[in-house]
């Protein structure tokens, strides 16, 4: 029997092993030519996405928002911001996606809202109205200082004084993003109702943004200092551990309630974004058993500076093939970090390295997220300070690359204004160095990164060992990561050389090469620098 199977014959949950394409709507396609991408733009390119061989799309926030954090500051959970379109547009989007056999996953930003949300507007009016306890309000210390030493992710204290209530409120991000009080059951029920609203509109799953920030230490203990912080990332929030400000033990119980609500609607996918200290332990507590979330991912690959075999094996080796660990998700790039090519391959990455990282991602056990443009081999755009939009980048300039460089518009057509993203000046500058990376140019080239991405993800889509199989490491020479994906007696051998040196390997027999990067030997005996492949064990 062939290693390749009809994806529709698999009877497990639709999401298990799925490849999910992340769309950052502001930068995907601008259909109404105002310089900002929108839902109609997404609809116009769904055929392109489906042709990649992915199973679902994840759309970053498109809800009503003052856009101080570009949609991650929600002022109305149940409405589409006019800059992106309307609820009718969203319904058309889900209808078109489903017609292409694409599931639809959307962000849910539960840990905080915008300060323009009606809940917060009411909450800050007094200490004794219906919404007064919907956010985290605390008294000042006797000397007027904040209740704790906790620091916000975007620079400065995580507490802001509000003169109307004569209290501090907690915000782990911008002061305009106050934290909801997850200990309040009315807040929990309100968030459950939000989820029901979107499921009833056809949504198939949710990514829970920064969900481990949803609860705090009720004793208001100070976070301890973090030792040995490198100078280049040294700022208040990196100088302390997140012991008491995030990842508190009450969150799994909330997630159990959330799961019960969603189980009423069938097979709804849920994935947690987990940052902070010891993320793997937190992730496992959110997804182990069968009564909480479907999956979770952290920033281990997203923060990794070098894809050495040792680093890859260390991260992947933390997950076992059992119910106690749960089902992980993986991403090499997203809207919050510099693009993987520049993080892993330096200032002069090659198409071969882009292909290698795509094939590695497609081979992993769990769900995998492909960030828009990753399939094109896009590099990080150098956005000058005066054109930065991201509050995190502006606050911490020039110490990091920021997030704007990974959010610039997708280059669609080399002969159109702004590469076909919009007919007017986009909200972030188009990188004109990307002309050779345009979709229009790559579709003409059989050897392009885009056409390789299609092969890699269509292989994953149709090979059940890649979607559902176990992952077992095998010993290999220095420079190689070697593992076997196995499902119902079918085996695939995955070998990758992420180094800049050639490596010989002599521990393989009876294999058939399915897909390769670089001039690897068909019998898996030789791997040039930055090469790899997937073989069927026959």
Question: Residues with catalytic annotation?
Answer: 209, 273
The C-alpha atoms of residue 95 and residue 102 are separated, in whole angstroms, by: 10
The C-alpha atoms of residue 159 and residue 149 are separated, in whole angstroms, by: 9
> For residues 251-288, b (16+ Cβ closer than 10 Å) or e, as one string?
bbebbeebbebbeeeeebbbbbbbbbeebbebbbbbbb
- H/E stretch holding 491 reads strand 490-497
Burial class (CB in 10 A: 0-12, 13-18, 19+), 388: middle
Q: How far apart are the first and last CA of the chain?
A: 10
Cis peptide before 398 (omega within 30 of 0): yes
Angle between helices 449-462 and 351-362 (to 10 degrees): 10
C-beta neighbour count of 489 within 10 angstroms: 7
Strands 503-504 and 526-527: antiparallel
CB 470 within 8 A of CB 486: yes
Structure tokens at 418: 């702004």
The C-alpha atoms of residue 327 and residue 270 are separated, in whole angstroms, by: 11
List CB contacts of 291: < 8 A, sequence separation 6 or more: 256, 259
CB 438 within 8 A of CB 412: yes
The C-alpha atoms of residue 83 and residue 88 are separated, in whole angstroms, by: 14
List CB contacts of 314: < 8 A, sequence separation 6 or more: none
List CB contacts of 50: < 8 A, sequence separation 6 or more: 100, 101, 102
- H/E stretch holding 114 reads none
Q: Which residue has the tokens 């399939």?
A: 375
E-strand stretches of 319-402: 327-331, 367-371
Rg (C-alpha) for the chain, rounded Å, is: 23
Q: Which residue has the tokens 């508190």?
A: 248
Region for 163 from its dihedrals, namely left if φ exceeds 0, alpha if ψ lies in -120 to 50, beta otherwise = alpha
């Amino acid at each position: 029997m062939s290693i390749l199977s009809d994806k529709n014959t698999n009877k497990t949950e639709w999401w298990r092993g799925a490849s999910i394409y992340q769309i950052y709507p502001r930068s995907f396609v601008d259909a109404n030519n105002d310089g900002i991408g929108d839902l109609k733009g997404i609809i116009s390119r769904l055929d392109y996405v489906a042709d990649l061989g992915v199973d679902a799309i994840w759309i970053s926030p498109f809800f009503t928002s003052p856009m101080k954090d570009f949609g991650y500051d929600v002022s109305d959970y149940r409405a589409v911001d006019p800059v992106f379109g309307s609820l009718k547009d969203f319904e058309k989007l889900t209808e078109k996606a489903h017609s292409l056999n694409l599931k639809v996953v959307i962000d849910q930003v539960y840990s905080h809202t915008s300060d323009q949300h009606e809940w917060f507007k009411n909450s800050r009016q007094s200490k004794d109205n219906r919404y007064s306890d919907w956010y985290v309000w605390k008294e000042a210390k006797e000397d007027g200082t904040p209740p704790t030493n906790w620091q916000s992710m975007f620079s400065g204290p995580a507490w802001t004084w509000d003169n109307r209530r004569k209290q501090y409120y907690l915000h782990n991000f911008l002061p305009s993003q106050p934290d909801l009080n997850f200990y309040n059951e009315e807040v929990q029920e309100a968030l459950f109702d939000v989820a029901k609203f979107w499921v009833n509109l056809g949504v198939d799953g949710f990514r829970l943004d920064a969900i481990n920030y949803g609860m705090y230490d009720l004793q208001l203990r100070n976070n301890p200092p973090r030792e040995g912080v490198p100078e280049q990332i040294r700022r208040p929030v990196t100088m302390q551990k997140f012991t008491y400000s995030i990842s508190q033990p009450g969150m799994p119980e909330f997630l159990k309630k959330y799961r019960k609500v969603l189980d009423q609607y069938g097979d709804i996918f849920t994935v947690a974004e987990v940052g902070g200290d010891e993320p793997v332990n937190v992730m496992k507590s959110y997804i182990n058993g069968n009564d909480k979330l479907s999956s979770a991912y952290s920033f281990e690959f997203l923060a990794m500076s070098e894809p050495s075999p040792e680093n890859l094996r260390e991260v992947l080796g933390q997950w076992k093939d059992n119910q106690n660990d749960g089902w992980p998700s993986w991403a090499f790039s997203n809207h919050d970090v510099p693009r993987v090519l520049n993080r892993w391959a330096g200032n002069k990455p090659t198409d071969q390295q882009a292909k290698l990282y795509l094939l590695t991602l497609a081979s992993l056990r769990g769900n995998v997220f492909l960030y828009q443009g990753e399939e094109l081999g896009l590099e990080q755009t150098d956005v000058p300070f005066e054109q930065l939009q991201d509050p995190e980048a502006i606050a911490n300039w020039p110490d990091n690359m920021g997030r704007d460089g990974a959010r610039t518009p997708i280059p669609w057509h080399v002969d159109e204004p702004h590469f076909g993203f919009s007919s007017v000046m986009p909200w972030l500058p188009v990188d004109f160095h990307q002309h050779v990376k345009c979709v229009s140019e790559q579709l003409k080239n059989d050897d392009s990164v885009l056409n390789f991405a299609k092969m890699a993800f269509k292989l994953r889509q149709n090979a059940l060992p890649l979607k559902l199989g176990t992952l077992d490491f095998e010993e290999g020479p220095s420079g190689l990561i070697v593992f076997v994906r196995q499902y119902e007696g079918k085996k695939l051998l995955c070998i990758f050389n992420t180094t800049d040196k050639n490596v010989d390997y002599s521990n393989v027999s009876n294999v058939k090469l399915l897909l390769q990067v670089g001039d690897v030997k068909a019998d898996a005996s030789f791997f040039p620098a930055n090469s790899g492949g997937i073989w069927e064990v026959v």
